[in-house]
Amino acid sequence: MKKIFTRILSAALVLSMAGALASCATKKGMTVQKGKLVMATNAYFPPYEYYDNNTIVGIDAEIAAAVAKKLGLELEIQDVEFDSIIAGVQGNKYDIGMAGMTVTDERKLAVNFSSTYATGIQAVIVPEGSEITDVDALLAGDYKVGVQQGTTGDIYMTGDVGEDRVVRFSKGNDAVLALSTGKVDAVVIDNEPAKSFVAANEGLVILPTAYVEEEYAMCINKNNTELLDAINKALKELTDDGTIPAIIEKYIPSNG
């Protein structure tokens, strides 16, 4: 009996140690690459993410860098197609997706979202003198609308006007170029990028009425609740100490 009890005890200790090691392994494996926070984005969405020479900068890039620093990690940003971000996070190719990404019920089925760090507006860009004078006119008419594929502008417009009237582009600036050359009648995109595109393209204006208001957050693999909790804690601290409000103010001045 003593030998049997000893064997049982030994087995229990082995299992206990294995469980402890597994727990440690989980903590060490919180991110895809040890010591790094790998962020997927689509870097054609100013002022949230865009290129300054060969460096990706913007609101999302700076907030992600601040979060990574809080977590003791090095930030790595990968520029990918917008509609591949969620799949990449699901498949553990990236730790987070951050691309002016709106929280929606449909996306919540695929990934978890962090706390909201910014709010956005879907805006409508049209040529100067367009007969599209408000959102109601856009929806009621037989107009072609350019969108960035996979964004909420794409989702909302497809739901409101149907597939036949929506023209999808891999990048927002491609949609705006199509508008400038008369290939579409309007573009639906987030308000801040819309301002940048209008400033860079003469003859375009933003309609005065918003199409949709929404919230931005990071997407994270549903199984990685440890990273989700750590990021939410970091976001709260960075909001409370003024870091995140200062980053947003830097790119979107409240008196601008």
CATH code assigned to 120-214: 3.40.190.10
- Count CB atoms within 10 A of the CB of residue 166: 22
Domain boundaries, the chain: 36-117+217-251, 120-214
According to DSSP, the β-strands at 50-52 and 55-57 are antiparallel
pLDDT at 253: 87
Instruction: Give long-range contacts, CB 8 A cutoff, 24+ apart: 245-248.
Output: 247/59, 247/62, 247/63, 247/66, 248/59, 248/118
Of 79, 34, 71, nearest in space to 55 by CA: 79
Of 120, 196, 184, 181, nearest in space to 153 by CA: 120
pLDDT at 6: 37
Q: Which two tokens stand for residue 158?
A: 């497809």
d(CA 55, CA 41): 13
pLDDT at 39: 98
What per-residue string of b and e applies to 42-78 under the rule 16 or more CB within 10 Å gives b?
bbbbbbbbbeeeeebbbbbbbbbbbbbebbebebbbe
pLDDT at 84: 97
pLDDT at 120: 87
In the beta sheet, which residues pair with residue 126? 205
Q: In the chain, what is the greatest distance between 2 CA atoms, to the nearest angstrom?
A: 93
Could you state, in chain order, the average pLDDT of each consecutive group of 10 residues for the chain (256 residues)?
38 39 43 96 94 97 98 98 97 97 95 95 96 96 96 94 96 96 97 94 95 95 98 98 96 77
DSSP helix/strand/coil, 222 = coil
| Under 8 Å between Cβ of 221 and 21 | no
d(CA 188, CA 156): 9
CA distances from 94 to 61, 67, 107, 216, 224 (A): 15, 15, 16, 18, 12
d(CA 117, CA 245): 9
H-run or E-run covering 192: helix 191-200
CATH code assigned to 36-117+217-251: 3.40.190.10
pLDDT at 255: 65
